C-alpha cells in the first residue's frame, strides 16, 4: 500500500506532466497533424482574400511557423513563464485577456453549478440518512449518467422555448445563469450524491453505529456521525467532479451561448487558432488541477496528521442488486427501434414533407430536410454503437496489458482521469480535423482506466494464488503460465466489463458528435441529430425530442448495465470467497 501523501505527490507530478504534454502537443500541432493552419487562419481573417501561395507564406511568417517547431515552442514556453499567452492567430488580439474574461464567466457558471450540485447531492443523501439504510442508488446513478449536452438541450427546449421562463442565450444577469447552471450542476450532483449514498449504507452498518443505536443515541446523531465518517474520503472525489464540470462547460456554454472558456476553446479548435486553444485548454486543465489539489489539502486538514490512513478508508460500497431484466428490456427497446429504423432510408430528402409530425409514413416525423427521423435514428445508432464497440474492443487490449504493470497504469490513468473526454476530443479534432475516427480516438484515450484497474486487480489475485507455484513446480515456463493460466482468468471478466461500458462509450461519442467534433453531416449520428434538431424545436418538437429520448434510454441502459455488472462481480467474488473459506473448516 502506498501512503496517501506520496500518492498525492505522484498525482500532482503526473498531472503537471500532462499539462506540459498538452501545452507542447497543441503548440506542435501544425507539424504532426499535416494540416496547414495558414489556410484556416486566412479564411478566418478575411473572406475575400485569395489563398495564393504568397498570401499563405506571408501568414506562415506572421504566425512564426517558419522558425520551426523547437523555436516556436521555446518562444511560447518563455512567454508563458512571463505570463504572456501570445496573440490570437485569428483576431490578432492578446490571448490572455480573452482567457481571463472567459475564465471569469466560466467560474461564475461553475460556482452556480456547484451550488446546484450540492443541493442535488443533499436531496439524494437525505433519504438514506433519514431511513438509516441504503436505497438502490439508481436515481443518483441515472442523474450522474445524463450527459450535460442532453440535459441542456431538454432544458433549453422546455424551460426556454416552450415555457419561456428563462432566456436561452447570452450572459447578462442572474436569470441567464439558471438553465446553464442546472444543466451543468445536476449530473455533478448526481455523481456526488451517488458516491455518498453508495458509501453510507455500509457505514451505517458498521459496529459503532450499531452500538450507538443500541445505546439509544438519536437517529439524527447517528446520521451526523455517519456523514462525518463519509465526507473526508469523498473530498478528493470533488476534484474529479470539477474535472467533469470543465468538460461539461464546453457543451453547456455552447448551447446557451455563454461566452465562457469552454466555448472559447471549442471555437479556437474549430478555427485552428492554436495560441487561443493553448491558452483556453491550459486554463481548463489548470482549473481542474487546482481544485483537485485544494480538495486533497482539505482532506488532509479534515483528517489531521495522526489519522491519515489507518481505519479511515471506507468500507467497500455494496452495489445495488440489479437483475439483468432492466438492461435487457432497455436494450430490446433500443434494438427494436434501431432495427425498424435500419429498414428505412436515412438520406431520402423529401422537401414536400419537411418537419412533418409523426404519421403512419413517418412514425417519428421528419426533419428540416424532410428526412425520416426514425430512419436517421436507426442508422445513427448503428454508426454510434458500432464505433463505441470498436472503442471498447480497442480499449480492452491496452487495459489488459496495463493490468500487468499496475504502477505504470496508475500513473497513466491519473492523467486520463484528469482529462475530460470533451477536451481530448477538442485536441484531437484540432489535430486531425473533426471526424468519427478522431472522436473514437479521443474517447478511447480516456475511457480505459476502470478496465485497467479491474485487470490489475485480477492479475494480482491470480498471481498470488497457490496454484501458480504448483505450475512452476511441474517445470512450466513463464509463457505457459501466462497464456494458459493468467490470461484466461483475466481476459474473460475484463471483456465482459468492457462490453458493459459500451452504452456509456456511445454516449461520450454522441456528446462529441453534438459539439461537431465527431461524425459530420449528413451522417446520421445521434449527437449530431440532436444538434441539428435544435434549430427547429418550436416547429417540430418531435424531431428534437426523439433523439433526446433515444439518448436518455441509452443513458438508462448505461447505468443499469454498469450496476448489473457491479452486482454480478460482487456476487461472484463472494462465491469464490466462500469456496476459499471451505478449507480451514475441515471438509470431507
User: Which of the ranges 246-254, 300-308, 392-400, 461-469 carries the binding residues for other proteins, by CB under 8 A?
Assistant: 461-469
User: Which of the ranges 48-56, 177-185, 483-491, 538-546 carries the binding residues for other proteins, by CB under 8 A?
Assistant: 483-491
Minimum distance, C-beta of residue 567 to other proteins, in the bound complex (Å): 21
Angle 343-344-350 (CA atoms, 0-180°, nearest 5)?
175
Residue nearer to other proteins on the CB measure, 237 or 465: 465
Task: Determine which residue in the list 47, 215, 475, 577 makes contact with other proteins, applying CB under 8 A.
Answer: 475
Interface with other proteins, residue 571, by CB under 8 A: no
Task: Determine which residue in the list 100, 168, 489, 520 makes contact with other proteins, applying CB under 8 A.
Answer: 489
- Asked if residue 170 has a cis previous peptide bond (ω within 30° of 0), the answer is no
Alpha carbons 51 and 98: distance in angstroms, whole number: 28
Task: Determine which residue in the list 92, 466, 574, 577 makes contact with other proteins, applying CB under 8 A.
Answer: 466
User: Which of the ranges 203-211, 347-355, 383-391, 465-473 carries the binding residues for other proteins, by CB under 8 A?
Assistant: 465-473
In sequence order, the 6+-apart residues with CB closer than 8 A to the CB of 307 are none
User: Which of the ranges 152-160, 189-197, 382-390, 482-490 carries the binding residues for other proteins, by CB under 8 A?
Assistant: 482-490
CB 381 within 8 A of CB 338: yes
428: left (phi over 0), alpha (psi -120 to 50) or beta: alpha
How many of the other CB atoms lie within 10 Å of CB of 229? 19
Residue nearer to other proteins on the CB measure, 318 or 569: 569
Residue nearer to other proteins on the CB measure, 465 or 567: 465
Interface with other proteins, residue 467, by CB under 8 A: yes
Interface with other proteins, residue 472, by CB under 8 A: yes
Task: Determine which residue in the list 16, 470, 482, 573 makes contact with other proteins, applying CB under 8 A.
Answer: 470
Minimum distance, C-beta of residue 392 to other proteins, in the bound complex (Å): 24
CB 140 within 8 A of CB 194: yes
In sequence order, the 6+-apart residues with CB closer than 8 A to the CB of 380 are 346, 523, 524, 525, 526, 528, 529, 547
Task: Determine which residue in the list 174, 305, 469, 577 makes contact with other proteins, applying CB under 8 A.
Answer: 469
How far, CA to CA in Å, does 101 sit from each of 152, 280, 506?
Answer: 23, 11, 34
Interface with other proteins, residue 1, by CB under 8 A: no
Minimum distance, C-beta of residue 472 to other proteins, in the bound complex (Å): 6
Q: Name which of 427, 431, 460, 430 is nearest 446 in CA terms.
A: 427
- What does R_g of the chain's alpha carbons equal in angstroms? 26
344: left (phi over 0), alpha (psi -120 to 50) or beta: beta
Task: Determine which residue in the list 488, 521, 571, 572 makes contact with other proteins, applying CB under 8 A.
Answer: 488
Minimum distance, C-beta of residue 586 to other proteins, in the bound complex (Å): 5
Minimum distance, C-beta of residue 496 to other proteins, in the bound complex (Å): 15
How many of the other CB atoms lie within 10 Å of CB of 292? 24
Interface with other proteins, residue 579, by CB under 8 A: yes
Interface with other proteins, residue 162, by CB under 8 A: no
Interface with other proteins, residue 81, by CB under 8 A: no
In sequence order, the 6+-apart residues with CB closer than 8 A to the CB of 560 are 138, 322, 326, 327, 330
Minimum distance, C-beta of residue 573 to other proteins, in the bound complex (Å): 13
Q: Name which of 81, 80, 30 is nearest 60 in CA terms.
A: 30
Minimum distance, C-beta of residue 467 to other proteins, in the bound complex (Å): 5
Residues in binding contact with other proteins, number by CB under 8 A: 25
Residue nearer to other proteins on the CB measure, 360 or 469: 469
Residue found by looking up cell 497504469 in the block: 409
Interface with other proteins, residue 586, by CB under 8 A: yes
Dihedral Cα 574, 580, 586, 588, nearest 10 deg:
90
Interface with other proteins, residue 174, by CB under 8 A: no
Give me the residues that bind other proteins (CB under 8 A), please. 465-467, 469-470, 472-477, 480, 484-485, 488-489, 576, 579-580, 582-584, 586-588
Amino acid at each position: 500500500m502506498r501512503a496517501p501523501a506520496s500518492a498525492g505527490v505522484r498525482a500532482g507530478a503526473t498531472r503537471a506532466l500532462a499539462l506540459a504534454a498538452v501545452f507542447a502537443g497543441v503548440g506542435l500541432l501544425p507539424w504532426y497533424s499535416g494540416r496547414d493552419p495558414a489556410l484556416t487562419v486566412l479564411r478566418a481573417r478575411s473572406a475575400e482574400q485569395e489563398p495564393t501561395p504568397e498570401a499563405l507564406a506571408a501568414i506562415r511568417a506572421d504566425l512564426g511557423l517558419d522558425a520551426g517547431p523547437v523555436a516556436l515552442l521555446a518562444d511560447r514556453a518563455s512567454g508563458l513563464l512571463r505570463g504572456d499567452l501570445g496573440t490570437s492567430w485569428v483576431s490578432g488580439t492578446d490571448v490572455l485577456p480573452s482567457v481571463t474574461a472567459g475564465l471569469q464567466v466560466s467560474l461564475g457558471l461553475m460556482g452556480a453549478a456547484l451550488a446546484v450540485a450540492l443541493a442535488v447531492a443533499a436531496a439524494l443523501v437525505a433519504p438514506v440518512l433519514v431511513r438509516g439504510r441504503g436505497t438502490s442508488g439508481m436515481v443518483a446513478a441515472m442523474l450522474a449518467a445524463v450527459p450535460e449536452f442532453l440535459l441542456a438541450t431538454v432544458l433549453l427546449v422546455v424551460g426556454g422555448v416552450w415555457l419561456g421562463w428563462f432566456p436561452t442565450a447570452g450572459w447578462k444577469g442572474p436569470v441567464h445563469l439558471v438553465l446553464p447552471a442546472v444543466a451543468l450542476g445536476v449530473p455533478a450532483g448526481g455523481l456526488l450524491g451517488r458516491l455518498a449514498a453508495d458509501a453510507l449504507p455500509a457505514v451505517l452498518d458498521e459496529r459503532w453505529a450499531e452500538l450507538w443505536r443500541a445505546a439509544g443515541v438519536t437517529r439524527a446523531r447517528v446520521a451526523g456521525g455517519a456523514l462525518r465518517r463519509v465526507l473526508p474520503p469523498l473530498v478528493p472525489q470533488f476534484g474529479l467532479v470539477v474535472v467533469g464540470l470543465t468538460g461539461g462547460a464546453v457543451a453547456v456554454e455552447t448551447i446557451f451561448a455563454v461566452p465562457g472558456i469552454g466555448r472559447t476553446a471549442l471555437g479556437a479548435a474549430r478555427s485552428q487558432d492554436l495560441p487561443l486553444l493553448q491558452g483556453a485548454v491550459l486554463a481548463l486543465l489548470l482549473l481542474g488541477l487546482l481544485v483537485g489539489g485544494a480538495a486533497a489539502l482539505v482532506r488532509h486538514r479534515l483528517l489531521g496528521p495522526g489519522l491519515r490512513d489507518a481505519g479511515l478508508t471506507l468500507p467497500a460500497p455494496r452495489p445495488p442488486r440489479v437483475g439483468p431484466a432492466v438492461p435487457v428490456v432497455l436494450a430490446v427497446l433500443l434494438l427494436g427501434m434501431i432495427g425498424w429504423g435500419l429498414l428505412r432510408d436515412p438520406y431520402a430528402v423529401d422537401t414536400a414533407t419537411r418537419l412533418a409530425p409523426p404519421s403512419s409514413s413517418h412514425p417519428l416525423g421528419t426533419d428540416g430536410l424532410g428526412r425520416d427521423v426514425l430512419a436517421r435514428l436507426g442508422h445513427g445508432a448503428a454508426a454510434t454503437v458500432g464505433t463505441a464497440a470498436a472503442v471498447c474492443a480497442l480499449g480492452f487490449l491496452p487495459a489488459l496489458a496495463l493490468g500487468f504493470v499496475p504502477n505504470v497504469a496508475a500513473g497513466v490513468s491519473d492523467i486520463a482521469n484528469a482529462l475530460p473526454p470533451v477536451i481530448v476530443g477538442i485536441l484531437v479534432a484540432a489535430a486531425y480535423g473533426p471526424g468519427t475516427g478522431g472522436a473514437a480516438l479521443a474517447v478511447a484515450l480516456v475511457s480505459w482506466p476502470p478496465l485497467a484497474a479491474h485487470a490489475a486487480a485480477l492479475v494480482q489475485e491470480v498471481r498470488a494464488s497457490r496454484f501458480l507455484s504448483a505450475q512452476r513446480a511441474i517445470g512450466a515456463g513463464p509463457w505457459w503460465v501466462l497464456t494458459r493460466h493468467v490470461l484466461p482468468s483475466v481476459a474473460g471478466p475484463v471483456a465482459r466489463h468492457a462490453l458493459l461500458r459500451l452504452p456509456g462509450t456511445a454516449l461520450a461519442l454522441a456528446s462529441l458528435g453534438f459539439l461537431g467534433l465527431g461524425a459530420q453531416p449528413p451522417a446520421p449520428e445521434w449527437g449530431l441529430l440532436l444538434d441539428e434538431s435544435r434549430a427547429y424545436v418550436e416547429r417540430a418538437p418531435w424531431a428534437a425530442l426523439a433523439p433526446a429520448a433515444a439518448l436518455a434510454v441509452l443513458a438508462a441502459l448505461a447505468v443499469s448495465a454498469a450496476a448489473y455488472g457491479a452486482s454480478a462481480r460482487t456476487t461472484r467474488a463472494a462465491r469464490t470467497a466462500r469456496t476459499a473459506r471451505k478449507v480451514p473448516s475441515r471438509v470431507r
